[in-house]
Amino acid sequence: MSFSVMSLNLRFGFAEDGPNNWVHRRCAYEPLLAEFPRDFYAFQEVNDFQATYLAHLLPDYCYIGQRPSAPERWQNNLLFYHKRWRCVHQEHFYLSATPDIPSRFEGSHWPRQCTMGIFDNDYCQTVLVNTHFDFDAEVQIRSARLIRERLRKHTAVGPIVIMGDFNSTPDSGCFAEFTTAKNDGCPTFCNAFSPPFIGTHHKFTGINGGAAIDWILYRGKLIVEHACVITRRFAERYPSDHYPVIAGFSCFSD
């Protein structure tokens, strides 16, 4: 059994980006999604009107992670999943000391969130996580620790994949929080990508020399079948100021 994922920071839909405003670049999403069909899409920085647009393009998918009654300019971290999968559990929480209410860690520039779901089909069950970290390095470490702790209760469920915009590179402290063994009984994560890492935040320039801040991490009985950063345009537009990152996994048993 195999499954595939994509992670992409859409770029805030109200941002004043001139020729790269959402209304000008949204045309890139239909060819992008058609060329790279996935079992799961993790989108960050999604305004409600962007969610509506994506749902129109993905009629065979459901999604979780949208906050009810949110102000118009608030953002969501959405997990779209193909209808051949069933979402049997979902969580939405804030990266803060009080994660179950809208809040943020001290030092965080913005309230940051995490969406988590358990999905199954007739062949396997997996946990998917979609998050967007703040800029502050210490806040990032605390956010990684919080996610690890929240995942502790799901260790026995099956393999876990974490995706998102981490605003930090694979040599950072928060990356080490996920990938370095701890004395907490939780398995460590692996990076779906191998060095040299391609920069994923290109600021609409198409340059590959930026920071590799968009990750796909995994643990459990998974083998990486492919992993790629998509660096080209669609409909003559970059979909975002971030590149989409994709991976495919196969599940195995002992």
| Ordered structural domains, the chain, with CATH | 2-251 (3.60.10.10)
pLDDT beneath 50: ranges in the chain: none
Parallel, antiparallel, or unpaired: how do β-strands 40-46 and 2-9 relate? parallel
Residue 70: the pLDDT is: 64
Contact between 2 and 250 under an 8 Å Cβ cutoff? The reply is yes
Residue 219: the pLDDT is: 96
Residue 42: the pLDDT is: 99
Residue 254: the pLDDT is: 63
Contact between 225 and 237 under an 8 Å Cβ cutoff? The reply is no
Quote the pTM value.
Answer: 0.96
CB contact burial 239-250 (16+ within 10 A = b; e otherwise): bbbbbbbbbbbe
- The Cα–Cα gap between 214 and 161 comes to 13
Given the structure tokens 């965080």, which residue do they identify?
108
